[in-house]
């Protein structure tokens, strides 16, 4: 069996060619649909030569698959639209939390936490965006809210990570002289629990056109942290349908709804200890039951790899060790 991911670009095509060469089963595990995202946001013109070539390669790759693994039902629908792979061969297996719940020690909100101590955040209401800052993560709503709150010293916004949207943050900070913004680099895996644990409220941002093309897998680690979260993005998305609706441990506003964004912050600030505890327990229990590492890997084994008797024999020891 050959399993190909979506990074680096054209990894799926290389996987398809390798599977054909080795007469192996081919599984394409789509973490996102890169070329479609590029065209949706205008980075690549759909009818350009590059756009047509990328689409043709994508469809050819799908056509050679024995199984396609996608992150959510919205991505499954996107793949089904191509009409080159049967729905029965498309399997939903989301990514699990990076840090298992049982190994994670997270301090109480506004309490003792190494990140709060180090950066002077003790006693502050901390809003955290942790992850990539790419073109499909528009920050306009968030940044406008930050500007409106610039005179409130009790609230701090922390951005952990890198990406092209950093320039938007830097420009707003410079233009408005913002002192309520803190930027930090990506944190090592062993510190992820502590960095997520310093938040009173987590942010997840998604471009409207990215639903079904991008999967915000960081939601599962956020759920594992027990913290409330605010999703800024389209209602038609996996965050709303797969997480927020079955487990009311977060909030949602559409892109551009700055007033709604500010209302959520005020609502979370007013949560009692009992209400925060209820959200903590609800989110942790939900991610453990629906998106744990064991649950996702069992799904992968059952629907993709199959029982040991169904697995194809390797062609040679050399290929087995590749």
Q: Which stretches in the chain have pLDDT values below 50?
A: 100-110, 308-309, 311-322
pLDDT digits (tens, 9 = 90+) for 155-202: 999 999 999 999 999 999 999 999 999 999 998 888 888 889 899 999
- Rounded Cα distance between 69 and 26, Å, is 11
Where are any strands of DSSP class E within the chain?
2-4, 26-29, 67-70, 90-92, 125-130, 155-160, 181-184, 201-205, 229-232, 250-253
The CA distances from residue 283 to 96, 221, 240, 287, 293, in Å, are 14, 10, 14, 6, 16
pTM of the model: 0.88
How high is the pLDDT of residue 318? 40
Domain boundaries, the chain: 2-93+293-320, 101-290
- Rounded Cα distance between 41 and 36, Å, is 9
pLDDT digits (tens, 9 = 90+) for 242-279: 999 999 999 999 999 999 999 999 999 999 999 999 99
Contacts for 107-110 with beta carbons within 8 Å, 24 or more apart?
107/194, 107/197, 107/198, 109/199, 109/200, 109/227, 109/276, 110/200
Phi, psi of 229 (to 5 degrees): -140, 160
pLDDT digits (tens, 9 = 90+) for 89-98: 999 999 888 7
Residue in this structure with the two tokens 């890169």, named with its chain if needed: 34
What is the residue-wise DSSP string for 35-46?
Answer: HHHHHHTTSS-T
Q: Among 3.40.50.2300, 3.40.50.2000, 2.40.50.140, 3.40.50.300, what is the CATH number of 101-290?
A: 3.40.50.2000
11: exposed, middle or buried (C-beta count within 10 Å: 0-12, 13-18, 19+)?
middle
Residues in the chain: 322
Residue in this structure with the two tokens 């024999």, named with its chain if needed: 313
How high is the pLDDT of residue 111? 52
């Amino acid at each position: 069996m050959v399993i190909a991911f979506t990074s680096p670009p054209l990894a799926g095509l290389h996987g398809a060619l390798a599977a054909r060469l080795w007469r192996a089963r081919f599984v394409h595990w789509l973490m996102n649909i890169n070329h479609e995202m590029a065209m949706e946001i205008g980075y690549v013109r759909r009818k350009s030569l590059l756009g047509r070539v990328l689409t043709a390669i994508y469809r050819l790759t799908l056509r050679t698959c024995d199984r396609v693994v996608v992150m959510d039902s919205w991505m499954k629908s996107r793949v089904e639209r191509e009409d080159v792979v049967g729905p029965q061969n498309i399997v939903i297996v989301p990514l699990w939390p990076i840090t298992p719940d049982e190994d994670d020690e997270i301090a109480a909100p506004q309490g003792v936490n190494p990140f709060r101590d180090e950066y002077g955040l003790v006693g502050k209401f901390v809003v955290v965006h942790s992850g990539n800052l790419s073109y499909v993560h528009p920050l306009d709503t968030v940044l406008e809210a930050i500007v409106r709150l610039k005179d409130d010293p009790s609230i701090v916004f922390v951005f952990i990570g890198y990406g092209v949207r950093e320039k938007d943050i830097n420009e707003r900070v410079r233009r408005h002289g913002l002192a309520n913004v803190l930027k930090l680099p990506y944190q090592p895996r062993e510190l992820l629990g502590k960095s997520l644990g310093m938040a009173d409220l987590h942010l997840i941002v998604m471009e409207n056109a990215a639903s079904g093309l991008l999967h915000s897998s960081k939601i599962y680690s956020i759920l594992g942290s027990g913290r409330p979260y605010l999703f800024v993005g389209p209602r038609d998305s996996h965050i709303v349908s797969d997480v927020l609706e079955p487990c009311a441990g977060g909030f949602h506003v559409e892109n551009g709804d700055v007033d709604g964004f500010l209302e959520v912050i005020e609502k979370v600030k007013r949560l009692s200890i009992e209400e925060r505890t209820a959200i903590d327990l609800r989110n942790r229990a939900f991610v453990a039951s629906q998106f744990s590492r064991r649950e996702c890997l069992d799904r992968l084994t059952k629907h993709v790899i199959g029982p040991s008797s169904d697995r194809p024999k390797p062609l040679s020891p050399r290929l087995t060790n590749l």
